[in-house]
Amino acid sequence: MTTTVQLADGLFAILWTVLRVGGVVMLAPLLGAMYVPRRMRLAMALVLSLAMLPWAGPPPALDPLSGDGLLAITQELIVGLAIGFVLRLATEAALLAGQLISTGMGLSFATVVDPQNGGMPLLGRFYIVVASLLLLATNAHLSLIGLLAQSFSAVPIGSGGLSPGDARAIADFGAVMFAGALQLALPSVIAILMVNVAFGVISRAAPTLNLFAVGFPITILLGLFILVLSIRTQAPVWEGQMTDAFDLLTRVLGS
């Protein structure tokens, strides 16, 4: 009888932990990508939940089917989703930057079908790959696991979740995403704009010149050249995005 009770308590503890961890796995970069099979994501959520049990503490004495229990379940999901959402915003700046550059280069019509983001320009996919590799290179995935473990101490299970002020801070973080996208795309956009202005002047001087046949390849080649030169200096922008994301989560979780 004692063994059965202990087994039930252990299962309840795992289930309460899975709620927050599952919310993170649903939205966090890399972990929540649509190309990751569902079974793999479920396995990662279970493994991380087992690893988080020492930090999660005892489960709350709540009936999951009661009103308070359902409220606590919702709050746990919201905490996990908030953590994953902030990190997703930090990486979505790469997608927005790729779209801005693709539009200026004339490559916006060359899209790849992404089940997660729909039709996206090839440069957007390129920047997403670079951002994902940078996350792994800087051990951001390990920092995410450490932050998730600390969140159980800062916001215990059943303690009430996030406040409205925390939700407002997370929403305001969207401005950081747009600022990062502009920083990544600005060199290429300015160079392409100068080329377009030059071709505009040429079209006034030589109206019979087929600028589409001449200018389109030049614009693409120059855009790719500027992209190769600028991507070497973009590491501080990538790192700044992730640092701001983790700083915000640290403030929100109070850890």
Q: According to the model, what pLDDT value does residue 5 have?
A: 57
User: In whole angstroms, what is the distance from residue 234 CA to residue 15 CA?
Assistant: 41
Q: Are 90 and 244 in contact (CB under 8 A)?
A: yes
The lowest-confidence range among 106-120, 146-160, 184-198 is 106-120
By the 10 Å C-beta count (0-12 exposed, 13-18 middle, 19+ buried), 250 is classed as middle
List the chain domain ranges.
2-253
**What is the gyration radius of the CA atoms in the chain, in angstroms?**
23
Secondary structure element (H or E) that encloses residue 250, with its range:
helix 235-253
pLDDT greater than 80 at residue 249: yes
pLDDT tens for each residue of 201-221: 777 777 776 666 666 777 778
Mean pLDDT of 120-130: 74
Tokens of 61: 């004495």
Secondary structure element (H or E) that encloses residue 152, with its range:
helix 140-154
User: In whole angstroms, what is the distance from residue 227 CA to residue 17 CA?
Assistant: 43
Mean pLDDT of 5-25: 74
pLDDT tens for each residue of 40-93: 888 888 888 888 877 877 777 766 667 777 887 888 888 888 888 888 888 888
Taking Cα atoms as reference points, which of 102, 83, 229, 76 lies closest to residue 148? Answer: 83
CA–chain centroid gap for 116, Å, is: 12
Residue 147 vs residue 111, higher pLDDT? 147
Q: According to the model, what pLDDT value does residue 187 have?
A: 79
Instruction: Name, in order, each residue with C-beta under 8 angstroms of 157's C-beta and a sequence gap of 6 or more.
Output: 16, 17, 20, 56, 57, 59, 60, 72, 76
Q: According to the model, what pLDDT value does residue 108 have?
A: 63
Residue type for position 123: L
Residue 4's pLDDT band (boundaries 50, 70, 90)? low
pLDDT greater than 70 at residue 188: yes
Give the Å distances, CA to CA, from 184 to 55, 84, 85, 98, 233.
38, 22, 21, 9, 9
User: In whole angstroms, what is the distance from residue 216 CA to residue 76 CA?
Assistant: 52
User: In whole angstroms, what is the distance from residue 142 CA to residue 133 CA?
Assistant: 14
Give the Å distances, CA to CA, from 118 to 38, 111, 121, 124, 228.
19, 9, 10, 12, 26
By the 10 Å C-beta count (0-12 exposed, 13-18 middle, 19+ buried), 105 is classed as buried
Whole-model pTM: value is: 0.76
Q: According to the model, what pLDDT value does residue 109 have?
A: 61
User: In whole angstroms, what is the distance from residue 20 CA to residue 45 CA?
Assistant: 9
Q: According to the model, what pLDDT value does residue 8 have?
A: 59
Q: According to the model, what pLDDT value does residue 1 have?
A: 47
The mean pLDDT value of the chain amounts to 76
The lowest-confidence range among 1-10, 29-38, 125-134 is 1-10
